[in-house]
Amino acid sequence: MEAWRGVTVRTSADALWPWVTQVRLAPYSYDWIDNLGRRSPQSLRHLDEPIVGESFTCAAGVKLGRILSVTPQRQLTGRIAGAVISYVLAEQPLAQSCTRLLMKIVTDMTWLLARPLCLGDLVMARRQLLNLKRLAESAAVGAGQA
């Protein structure tokens, strides 16, 4: 199974990237489900750049998965629970300060297992991407970038 999700974010890839890297701290989807009610950080924590081999994400205080690949300001890829997830930032050349945030999920699960995963992921990934969009755009407005 391969699934793509995406949102357009009204800020530069440089301004969006720190928010994407914060998936190492929390899931940023529905916190009451993925994070046992703990709220994902709503401000930047100024983390060091991700490094291959580090934990990919964290839920309810538990580190999960491993980072497989990083290209700063461009992509972050990790493996978690039998799936490989990539976040890709693609600046829109015709739209100033506009970035497309894409998420690609790939798993080699059988279709019988992948089908419910894909449906659940559609809801959770959408919420995650929309939360990252909201936070990055709010920070850009606060910094006078929008």
Prediction pTM value: 0.86
Task: Give whole-number Cα distances, 114 to 2, 20, 81, 85, 108, in Å.
Answer: 9, 25, 12, 14, 8
Local confidence pLDDT in tens for the 146 residues of the chain: 888 899 999 999 999 999 999 999 988 877 666 655 678 788 899 899 999 999 999 887 889 999 999 999 999 999 998 889 999 999 877 767 899 999 999 988 666 666 666 556 667 789 999 999 999 999 877 666 55
Helical ranges in the chain per DSSP H: 13-21, 31-34, 111-142
> How far is it, in rounded angstroms, from Cα 135 to Cα 13?
13
What's the pLDDT score for residue 65? 95
Q: What is the CA radius of gyration of the chain?
A: 15
What's the pLDDT score for residue 13? 94
Phi, psi at 92, each rounded to 5° = -90, 110
What's the pLDDT score for residue 114? 60
Domains of the chain, start order: 2-140 (3.30.530.20)
C-alpha dihedral over 29, 35, 41, 42, to 10 degrees?
40
